[in-house]
Amino acid sequence: MSERRPGTNYLNVSYGIRSWLFTVDHKRIALLYLGSVTLMFLLGTVFAGLVRLELLTPAGDLFSADSYNKIFTMHGIVMVFFFLIPGIPAVLGNFLIPMMVGARDLAFPRLNLLSWYLYTIGALFTLFNIVIGGVDTGWTFYTPYSSAWTTTNIVPVALGIFITGFSSILTGLNFIVTIHTMRAPGLTWFRLPLFVWAHYAMSIVVILGTPVIAITIVLLALERVFKLGFFDPALGGDPVLFQHFFWFYSHPAVYIMILPAMGVISEIIACFSRKRVFGYSFVAASSLAIALLGFLVWGHHMFVSGQSVFAGLVFSVLSFMVAIPSAVKVFNWTATLYKGSISFDTPMLYVFGFLGLFTIGGLTGLMLACLGIDVHVHDTYFIVAHFHYIMVGGTVMAYLGGLHFWWPKITGRMYPEWWGRLSALIVFVGFNLTFLPQFIVGYLGMPRRYHAYPDEFQVFNVMSSAGASILGVGYLIPLFYFAWSMRYGKKAPDNPFQATGLEWTTPSPPPTENFPVTPVVTEEAYAYEKMPIPAGGARAV
């Protein structure tokens, strides 16, 4: 610490590719993740674009059914396992959690680097599979099709996901231990920022859920390679067991995606309405409640799988209950906005986008938790629209909002505010144009995963594809101006938004050890009544 020269930060403390690939600094690892995650996001977007292109016309004229199956499968796998799940925790969580708790690094810095390498190796396995021909099972790998019938490359993809699972376990483990053991003096549990609470809850879900998908993938691979019977009815096994295992992880995985997003929203909404988060302890506890209830609802994916009606009823009731802590959050955010000094800067625009889209996604989730409605719309575009509203409308809006909010801290540069607002608007419009028509066309009966459809559905599909292209533009604009701002953006002050939180008390970009002196915390989070109101928010800088 003592030999640190003034003006040295984590970005310029050392140069060269080796100093990045062998770094144990959580901030540099966060940037490594930012690069990988962005690449995977672009890849997933390309597959999504191909899907929407095929569905522009009712006939299956652009791709064969086989190719189409492979394209939507890769879209699902890349987006779920390599973008949505690691996205916010690996980039923003990695960068911010040690700083928010006043620590010099995560508890296990080398494990953190290892988890990036595991992520990269897992991603390479999946990419390798695309090169050698793809997978056509859908991202859910339902047996016995995946274990006994398909001739595509299940094993490399399964291996890729297995390895990436370890990456996410290590990240979750690191967060839990860091939050437990490395908080700065005075930083009690109920002084923690809600971002930290959200990541703590998410880590619990990761720790308890990911090993189950790991063993499921092992069993699937054993059945496929060695013909050990677990899920194949021809061998005496039970394909429904696979679905239980799969959804025991993959339903909580939605909360792995959305909990960190909710953490981001709490931070931004307090800052840009200049108020304490209303009902702080309820928002914190609701994260844990979501983590707990999230493990009790997997059976709602299996209402038509042949499970008993009693199981269906129980899972239906439990699924309704998840709405309670989610609603607690949304209502508390709304109450935070009430009589706040709201400024409509880019991060806040993304928050408003999040609130609208997440609410629509949540309310349609309640519809799907009803047994009767679910049987009607099962495996239709209604489902597709619902989970895109939650997972993309929720997670991606929060990810982009958070990236803008902490961009000055990460890079030491401001992003162009006007362009930021424009892209937030385009993303919101494009998103709704893409997925609202899918609710309608799904309710009318268009099944998912088909590359051809009856003519009467075309108008909705054309709207959806048009929306997808607008959405694509909305995603590309930040890519360009973020890259631009790293070199040409205005220099950012330590705390451009006058936000509370330890991460804003250190220079932008921070030094390697985060804080010149270990901070001591003397008050609760979000003491915005003591902060000056910045005139015009980010525009003023």
Q: Which residues bind another protein (CB under 8 A)?
A: 103-109, 169, 173-174, 176-178, 180-182, 207-212, 214-216, 218-219, 222-223, 226-230, 235-238, 241, 245, 513, 518
Tell me how many degrees the CA angle 142-147-148 measures, rounded to the nearest 5: 120
Nearer to another protein, 116 or 246 (CB): 246
C-beta of 78: minimal distance to another protein in Å?
24
Q: How many C-beta atoms surround the C-beta of residue 308 within 10 A?
A: 9
**Closest approach of Cβ 220 to another protein, in Å?**
11
Give the DSSP letter string of 478-530. HHHHHHHHHHHSPBP-S-TT---SGGGGS-SSPPTTS-SS-----S-S--GGG
CB of 10 to another protein, least distance (A): 13
Dist CA 301 CA 82 (whole Å):
22
Find how far residue 430's CA is from the centre of its chain. Answer: 19
- Closer residue to another protein (CB): 104 or 376: 104
Closest CA to 514 of 102, 97, 38, 73: 102
Cα 466 to Cα 67: distance, rounded to the nearest angstrom: 22
- Cβ distance to another protein smaller for residue 245 or 428: 245
Q: How far is the CB of 244 from another protein (least distance, A)?
A: 8
Please state the closest distance from residue 183 (CB atom) to another protein, in A: 10
Cβ pair 186, 520 in contact under 8 A: yes
CB of 490 to another protein, least distance (A): 32
CA quadruple 85, 87, 93, 95: dihedral positive or negative? Answer: positive
Supply the minimum distance, in Å, between the C-beta of residue 134 and another protein. 27
Whole-number minimum distance, CB 535 to another protein, in Å?
Answer: 38
How far is Cα 82 from Cα 192, in angstroms, rounded to an integer? 29
Residue with tokens 């005496």: 236
Tokens of 330: 């949304």
CB of 426 within 8 A of CB of 470? yes
Nearest to 385 by CA among 407, 401, 362: 362
Nearer CB in complex with another protein: 10/41:
10
Q: Residue 95 CB: number of other CB atoms within 10 A?
A: 25
CB nearer to another protein: pick between 103 and 538 = 103
133 vs 185 by CB, closer to another protein: 185
Give the integer Cα–Cα distance in Å for 33 and 87.
Answer: 8
The nearest distance, CB 27 to another protein, in angstroms, is 12
Task: Report CA-CA distances (Å) from 13 to 95, 105, 411, 485, 520.
Answer: 17, 16, 14, 20, 26
**Smallest distance, Å, CB 322 to another protein?**
21
Burial of 487: CB neighbours in 10 Å, binned 0-12, 13-18, 19+: exposed
- How far apart CA 249 and CA 95 sit, in angstroms, is 26
**Which is closer to another protein, CB of 109 or CB of 340?**
109
We find the least distance from the C-beta atom of residue 519 to another protein, in angstroms, to be 12
Of 162 and 197, CB closest to another protein? 162
Cβ distance to another protein smaller for residue 36 or 203: 203
Contact 468, 417 (CB under 8 A): no
A 10 A CB-CB count for 285 gives 15
Residue closer to another protein (CB basis): 62 or 218 = 218
Say how many C-beta atoms besides its own lie within 10 A of residue 259's C-beta: 30
Pairwise CA distance, residues 175 & 96, whole Å: 11
Q: Quick one: which H or E segment has residue 175?
A: helix 154-181
Between 27 and 413, CB nearer to another protein: 27
